[in-house]
Structure 1
Amino acid sequence: MKYLFMFCIAALAAGPAAAQELDEAFTAKLFSSKGVVECLKAGTATWRRVKAPYFLEVGDTVRTGPKAVAEIYIRYGAKVRLSSDTLFVLSKVAPQENAVEVMKGKMQAWIRKFAGRGFSVRTPAAVCAVRGTVFEVEVAENGQTMWDLFSGSIQIADNHNHTIDLSPNQRVEVSQDAGAAAPAAIPENVKPPEEPAKIKEEKTETKAEQIIETKAKEEAEAAKQEEKKKEEKKAEAKSAEAEPVEEPAVVEPVVEPATGVIPTQEVKESQEVSGSTP
């Protein structure tokens, strides 16, 4: 898992060949709009009415009018839908994390899961950390925030440093003064939002991420096998050291015992000298 995580981060930041099809200047795109949608470009003081398709940059603020809807794709796997009378800020876009603010109104979001990547949402009452999630957040005029989680996981920290982890099909209310209430079940009549169709930029990124993940798995498996071989060699060496060394057996030479038989030739010579007769 360690190898997979590290490779994904490095590859995503560098950008694979497939990702080169995506304009390097691309940050976010208003790809669908209905009704009055306005944008305040970063560093300016004038709101201008915009229509899809319209490209956004970090620091841009989007607001929707009555009965208006705006759908935005943010680079690195985030797609949001802004309902009417919503004020939205694109705060950060980076390979490791995207961040947005919802100051009032309602936002539905689909966050594509990818190793080492996060998404955060700030409201007047809380900050939410997101991982591979479908959720909805609604902010009232007084800043009170309602979070509904349909899949994945989110962690919410209120203004009093109280943290809550939501499970799928749970909701929680957070106010600026009282903080977070206890999580409750989402009412049965509240259904998950329908995800908008994928746009060209999203398809390109998804393809690139699939290449990264496939390569990462291959690298992780190769590293795992290499580690396994090293462990096997260590085990073999340790086993060899533990085995007792057998000393070679010493073979003693066999000595034939002396016999009392005198050779015939020696007896004959002895008789001749003594002159004895047989």
Structure 2
Amino acid sequence: MAETRLWLEWLARFGYAARGAVTLVVGLLALLAAVSPGGDVTGSRGAIQTIFTQPFGVALIAIAAAGLFGFALWRLCQSVLDADGRGRDAKGLAVRLGQGVSAVTYLGLGIFAVGLVLGRGGGGADENESVRDWTAWLLTQPFGRWLVAAVGLAVIGAALGMAAQAWTARFREELSCDARAARWVVPLGRAGYAARSLVFLLIGGFLVLAAWQSDPSEARGLGGALLALQAQPYGRGLFGLVALGLAAFGAFEFAEARYRRIRPPRPEAAAAAVMRAARGG
């Protein structure tokens, strides 16, 4: 049993590193676009494709895919099994719901990466198109506009949570590093959370706009939100700061891979959680 928990811990750390690599590429490409015409503003799937085109790209993406699946599994443990001890109150359930959404997101990224390795090309690489597709589907459902608006407001809520992390550096509580390491880890985390907060605020705002106008073309993914920011009057400087912040968050994820407190659930606790879920509470 101890070996299983140790295996899950290392898989989670590997996942944080893979997530960091993808985010770092997104930030660096955006930073290049901010300072020269040679950059490419893209989201996570575009970053994976960029890695794929590099020397040894197939091997790198295969490794990244394993890490992304590992991160998705860890997020699932955090969400379903409450590995972080968030509890079952409203705040804890909201955090765990967000972790569950993150698990699905990184599972999808892992599947996309595997598709590249297997030679299936870059189908579905446009994150904006994917976001618009599911927004369009959601709008066709009963109370669809309300559902899209609810998703948008949830994303805005997550953005505000990231802003709080940037302001308070509360993420430090989940890290096990000495004061010397904290001097560079904490600023990276604050800059990263601040940048992600602004990007997610834009994504949520676009979803609310899509709901208001009942127009899925208004929805944006990560790359679309960055492009919208870049296109604003006097937005180039802010865009450069956000790009730098995203790169900082990528570096921070590598620090999380090293220093984060990982508490894999015990098998008996996991079984009890599954039984509670099967009983509906």
- Normalising by structure 1, what TM-score? 0.24
Q: Which has the higher contact order (CA 8 A, sep 6+)?
A: 2
Give the strand-richer structure, 1 or 2.
Answer: 1
- Normalising by structure 2, what TM-score? 0.24
Give the helix-richer structure, 1 or 2.
Answer: 2
